[in-house]
């Protein structure tokens, strides 16, 4: 019985570097390496374009992103974020010249 050979990873079946960087942006390196179960050197090589990015890596990050959005939607957070926020006009600081004029109007 022979072992099943792993498919060769070439530039023709690799994931898009821009898509990988989009989903990996904002994640700390330790978290990213733990999610992808790869060494930090490997992930840095993928980000620098020195190594071919496997398609499963982008699929894992995309799935995490979609699951996060689904969780927010189920908790109702996205509905709250979509509501129009009231416009709050801030009061000028006491050391600004506009504050003096406002005080004079309030007193009169």
pLDDT digit string (tens) for 52-61?
999 999 999 9
Contacts of range 99-107, beta carbons closer than 8 Å, 24 or more positions apart: none
Report whether pLDDT(106) > 60.
Answer: no
Q: What residue spans define the domains of the chain? A: 8-85
Q: Pick the residue with more confidence: 97 or 46? A: 46
How far CA 14 is from CA of 18, 50, 65, in Å, comes to: 12, 13, 20
**DSSP, res 40:** H
Query: What pLDDT, in 10s, does the model give residues 31-50?
Result: 999 999 999 999 999 999 89
Mean per-residue pLDDT, 84-108? 64
So what's the architecture of 8-85 in CATH? Answer: Orthogonal Bundle (1.10)
Query: What pLDDT, in 10s, does the model give residues 47-95?
Result: 998 999 999 999 999 999 999 999 988 888 877 777 777 777 777 676 7
What pLDDT was estimated at residue 101? Answer: 56
Asked whether 35 and 57 are in contact (CB, 8 A), the reply is: no
> How far is residue 100's CA from residue 108's CA, in Å, rounded to a whole number?
13
């Amino acid at each position: 019985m022979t072992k099943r050979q792993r498919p060769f990873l070439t530039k023709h079946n690799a994931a898009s570097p821009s898509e990988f960087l989009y989903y990996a942006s904002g994640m700390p390196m330790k978290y990213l390496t733990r999610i992808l179960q790869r060494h930090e050197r490997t992930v840095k090589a993928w980000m620098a374009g020195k190594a071919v990015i496997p398609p499963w890596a982008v699929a894992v990050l995309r799935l995490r992103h979609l699951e996060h959005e689904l969780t927010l939607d189920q908790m109702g957070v996205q509905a709250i974020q979509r509501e129009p926020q009231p416009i709050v006009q801030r009061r000028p600081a006491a050391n600004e010249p506009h504050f003096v004029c406002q005080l004079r109007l309030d007193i009169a």
